[in-house]
Amino acid sequence: MLIILRIPSTNQIMSTIDILDIAGTFVFAVAGAFRATRHHLDLLGIMVLAVATGVGGGMMRDMLLGATPVAAIQSELYLGVCLAGGVLVFLAADRVATQWNRVMIMDAIGLGVFAAIGGAKGMAFGLGPIGVMIMAALTATGGGVVRDILVREIPAIIRHDFYATAALLGGATLLLAEATGLNGTWQIVSAALVTSGLRFFAMTRNVGLPKAKLSDQSG
């Protein structure tokens, strides 16, 4: 039997990344809007958290890089996707809650895509390795930090979950892929796969970073 392997073209891969970017924005927005319902916020509050979570990280990244107007404002598609996620949660919060495991799977995919795209933008602006990794983590997790601060919670990325760490390692993967000579598209693909893979592993195995242990006398 002759097996023919069809390797996708660069344009096909990039269009797939664009689709995943939009899907990730939507899922992040849904997660933000759902957090708003837990705090009993009204429709405006739901929309604010949806937008903040969906595009907040990318907006902070672009402002730090001086890439203004920021991408989320240049393309109103992203804001529209966030608002759509907010409307979905407003109309069907109970149904979204029953599908939360699927939302978290998509969230992990979105984390990988956002980390890869953020790191790649940092590289395009000539940042060093640490800067690239920070841009990867900021793009992937910045919106969640804004969301948590708005509802007066300790940001989840410093409280629990192997989340920001996965994004940082995704940025490191991007740098390694660039050093080994992979083209830009495959650099992004490899970084996204590593980030999402690490997040999936942490979710299924309940893996987290170690915490400092204090005795009862430490206060």
Q: Residues with Cβ < 8 Å from 52, sequence gap 6 or more?
A: 32, 143, 146, 147, 150
Instruction: List pLDDT tens digits, range 190-219.
Output: 999 999 999 999 888 887 777 777 766 555
- Tell me: the pLDDT tens digits for 129-157? 999 999 999 999 999 999 999 999 888 78
7-64: pLDDT as tens digits: 445 555 456 677 778 888 998 999 899 989 989 999 999 999 999 999 999 999 999 9
**Range in 52-56, 86-90, 97-101, 195-199 with the lowest mean pLDDT:** 97-101
- Amino acid 96: pLDDT: 83
| pLDDT the model gives residue 11 | 55
> pLDDT over 90 for what percent of the chain?
58
Whole-number pLDDT of residue 47: 97
Q: What is the pLDDT of residue 22?
A: 87
Q: What's the pLDDT at 160?
A: 66
At residue 170, the pLDDT reads: 96
Instruction: Write the burial class of residue 38 (CB in 10 Å: 0-12 exposed, 13-18 middle, 19+ buried).
Output: exposed
Query: Is residue 110 very low, low, confident or very high in pLDDT (cuts 50, 70, 90)?
Result: confident
- 3: pLDDT strictly greater than 50: no
| pLDDT of the residue at 16 | 65
| Dist CA 196 CA 107 (whole Å) | 9
